[in-house]
Structure formats: C-alpha cells, structure tokens
Amino acid sequence: MSIQVNRLADPVVRDFVVAVNAHDTGAFNALLTPGATMADDGSDRDIADWTDREIFSSNGHMDIESESDGGRTLLVTFRNDTWGEMRTKWHFTVDGAGKISRFETGQA
C-alpha cells in the first residue's frame, strides 16, 4: 500500500516527488540549493547527470511506501525504463530556506 503524494508530511519532499513523477526538471531544479549534493548507494554522484539518466530521460517514478523522520526519509518503490522496479530508501537534507541541500538514495 502506498502513501498519496499529497499526504507526505514535508512540503519540500512532497514537491520533490511531484517534480520527479511529472518529469518537471524546472520544478525539480528549483527545489535544490546551489551546490546541492547527492549520493546513490553510498557514492556521491553529479546531480544533473544522475537525475537526467535515472529519472528524467528514463521515465523515473516514485511510489511512496512509507515515510519517517518527519517526512525527510522515504521508503519508495522506484521504477524507470533502465532498471525496472526496485525498492529504495531516500533521505533528504532541507535547509532553513526550504531547499534541498542533499539527498541520498539506494537500495532498501
């Protein structure tokens, strides 16, 4: 059973999921701080390259299974055209201005 995106506790994380699922790169990039960082399975990656490859050019989609840490950590069924469907965990660091300064994802 999944959580409806509009019910996610953290508004910035909610907007992130909406942007990913809509393949809206403009809205996605607007959520990030300048110099934002990310990691995939524990390895730092270039955000622009990774998100283009894993999300935007491959029809990435997030179905939220559960949330914790006030909505800053998500358990997600993620799917894209490259890898198919996988269970992943996402953790977000949000700054005081409501922008994402870092996110980490990986197999759950």
- How does residue 2 score in pLDDT terms, banded at 50, 70 and 90? confident
Distances (CA, A) of 78 to 34, 58, 85, 97: 26, 12, 6, 28
Q: Hey, what are 54's tokens?
A: 């894993």
Cα–Cα distance between 75 and 89 in angstroms, integer?
5
Per domain, the residue ranges of the chain are 5-107
Alpha helices in 31-100 (DSSP H): 47-51
| Tens-digit pLDDT profile for residues 41-64 | 999 999 999 999 999 999 999 999
pTM reported for the whole predicted model: 0.96
Per cent of the chain over pLDDT 70 is 99
5-107 is a CATH 1.20.1300.10 domain: no
